[in-house]
Structure 1
Amino acid sequence: MTTGRLAELNEPGELWIRGYCVMLGYWNESQKTEEAISQDKWYKTGDIATIDEKGFCRIVGRSKDMIIRGGENIYPAELEDFFYTHPQVQQVQVVGVKDYRMGEEICACIQLKQGEETTPEDIKAFCKGKIAHFKIPRYIVFVTSFPVTTSGKIMKFKLREQMEQRLNL
């Protein structure tokens, strides 16, 4: 949610930048420019970041990927970093999927290391006591691959669509 106020220290907010090296807008695309550049020429990066007491900036996720579950903001990158500490996880992507009651639910799409086996229940048990209860994914889906662009970047929007279809949401 955009409020227009400056975030406090260590509070996540959208990173805006400005300077001589920052673009003035999109060529012949005024609507896109209006969405990306504020009236006082700040570029809205779409990154969610925090700034600490020493002035260090830490990117915690992308605003378009943020999951809003029952009013709680959940950053997929934070959960993905956590899941990489599991010894059987090769690759993981976390997406928000539709939910009537909560708005969105968390879906962890996990590719296990070759020869490894586990269950969604085991993964949830691994989470308990290590991350906040509201961040434990409702859905754990094991996958063998992820949808990617020609340059190899994972297409989260496509993955979200696939999971909603697979989970009949």
Structure 2
Amino acid sequence: MNQMRAAVVYESMFGNTATIATSVANGLRSAGMQVKVIPVTVAGDDVLRTHDLVVIGAPTHTLGLSRPSTRADAVLRGAPAEVEARGVREWLEDLQDAHSVRIAAFDTRARAMRHLPGSAARHVAHLLRRRGYDVAPSTSFYVGSTKGPLAHEEEARAGDWATDLGHRMIRRVVA
């Protein structure tokens, strides 16, 4: 059997989601998958057609995925200007369907907001389920505030989540 291919596509304003994306990639590798980590600003529409699993990560902005206005606000708060270009929302809108890929999603969000209903990961999962994709349960990782830092142990938790996800994906294909 060929090694399964995964991509971790992420959007990050202040580096926290990028850090979690790296931990997710490392967890998938430890499960035996071949993994690429791709910032959404350079992700192409071929990602869904060339991988067995695509994990999508984004920060939660105003209870969901970022918008041009919330990315512009992040830049005013100190995020690099290039984050304004394109977010996960726009990337998903531009994608052609490729239903054979399995999708998983995660987000980063302020720990103080953990009990609120909105989540970028749940928004991704909802959008892609409506389009007919097979979507794994989403999860959230927490930061202390908008700019971070990541809450204690979140990097390790992300790696563990991804390792479990990778093992479940491989078992599913073998079965």
Q: Which has the higher helix share?
A: 2
TM-score, normalised by the number of residues in structure 1: 0.28
Higher relative contact order (CA 8 A, sep 6+): 2
TM-score, normalised by the number of residues in structure 2: 0.28
